[in-house]
Structure 1
Amino acid sequence: MTEPALRIEHLTVRYPLGGRRFAHAVTDVSLTVAPGEIVGLVGESGCGKSSVARSVMALRRPDAGRVLIGGVDVTALRGAALRRARRDFQMVFQDPRSSLNPHRTVRQILTEGLAIQRVPRPWDDQVDDVLRAVGLDPATYADRRPRQLSGGQCQRVAIARAVLLRPRLLVCDEPVSALDTTVSAQVLDLLRDVRDRYGVAILFIAHDLAVVRGLCDRVAVMYLGRICETGAVDEVLARPRHPYTRALLDAVPRLDGAVPAGEALRGDPASNVDPPSGCRFHPRCAYASPRCAAEEPVLAGKDEAVACHHPLAPVKAG
């Protein structure tokens, strides 16, 4: 079997608050991304998506669990070994302009990673090739600084920087949320092209289900630090089994003004400092029973998995 580009095993991340209190950002999350696959990780703000991303990038060591990139446990690496491994996993950040050094030219920004990884010179051809791959003419843009670029052009540079080292995995943390609709669509098209050209796997962090539907192969839905549903994106978004996934879909505005038939979310998410017992969604769920408050549901299923004691019946396409 082909080794996954990314394998997350039972990841747990807590942030200390003092006085033996913790914010439970991520609890026992497991997820895989196959080579060349785009997997979306979605949920409301504060559900733990970015904490997963930071752990995958080894920017924050988990309290428990492992992150394997191409079979290598990056949570066990330190120092020079971790630096060498980083060429296999790169990140595209939410704010494209602030992720680039304002004092460097585009060419200098791109060659910095090559220098850190001690890639033999010359670099000019590699830089020119990757700029063309992201739709930027090297003669026009290589000597510009970020302030001379639009937001969409800055994100193209950030993507070029990320793929220049030919990584196995890109982690994209809300990469189009700071862009307008037209530019966002162009960047999403670019990510598809990058996947096809370089064979890179992508973990795509988002809160916009429309973006995920148009880009991703599979989706994992996260609520208050746990994954509650996962599967093929067309299946999960067309026939959601978890009440939270259904509520997220029902919350998406419709152009025709029609009112969705599903149940609206009730109240606000619970605190991750003192999460609810049992299913963490049960205080907001219209289908909750006493069992939901007492027993944590297990994520069960093969192609489409759901963590719910009372999963919704699949809606037949029609």
Structure 2
Amino acid sequence: MSPTAPQTVTEKSRLSVAPMLDWTDSACRVFHRQFSKNTLLYTEMVTAPAIVHGMRTRLLDFRAAEHPVALQLGGSDPAQLREAVRIAAPWGYDEINLNCGCPSDRVQSGSFGAVLMRQPDLVAACVSEMMAASPVEVTVKCRIGVDDQDPQEVLPAFLEKIAAAGVRRVTIHARKAWLQGLSPKENRDVPPLDYDLVFAMKAAFPQLHISLNGGVKSLAAARELLDRGLDGVMIGRAAYHEPADILGAADATIWGAGTTTTAEDAVVAMFPIIEDHIQQGGRLHQITRHMLGAFAGRPGARHWRRILSEEGTRDDAGVATVERALAAVISLAA
């Protein structure tokens, strides 16, 4: 491993935090960035129609401190996706990603997300149009298949199509999505993981940068998958609920650059961000709801969560509230 920090988005995608609806908003990403300077972060999925027709500033604004950050788009109309990418370009995202893996009912009704695994030609057309408008790399996040599809046949055919369209980086959620019979929550856990298929795809498509998503619950597990030959690992809920354990040592463990960041350091680094957010009219809980797992597994974690949960929604809640919660953790650790 190089002792210097990675320079490109591709290098930084060796570890990433998954895009998660209602979770990975700007406040969440800023908090995660306090732990790791290199890990690639993703927005929540934003639909192309929302960008084209909606409140672009609210949907696309982010803080400079979040870099490297990727914008994930949802959609299935090539022309509309191209327009969404064109509109988003001035915001300066480091990557644009097309969602071909979300199994929610809303996504299905809009004919995008995981349902696109059934339409590789359409996906190829979508990414081709997106690339034509994008100043940065366009990537794809997909499943290994949906419903009764045979992943052994579907996934290589899908990758072949998008690679021919110019895609060079893919994240594969190593589970099928069952669009009929399972809820979105069940689709995160019930379909069995097939890591072997993802490794087979890396062998079959050596030119592709392939990251694995699904079921990775520790930094050590991510390191092992990288050592076995994958190009990247994407972690979702574990990184959100246990950010110190997953991200605190990521820079040193994954890239050999940087030092371990403690939860205490990350929390203190958030104070000026919290103050600015409140001065702009925001509420404390809009940020601290993403910080509840900071001390997961440590003495005082329950007190930390209780104080932030009970007091964080008060009109006068601010940095002092977080300081009280932090003091409770530190006193129990003494």
TM-score (norm 1): 0.40
Indicate the structure whose relative CO is greater, using CA pairs within 8 Å and at least 6 residues apart. 1
Structure with the largest fraction of strand: 1
Considering fraction of residues, name the structure with more helix. Answer: 2
TM-score scaled by structure 2?
A: 0.39
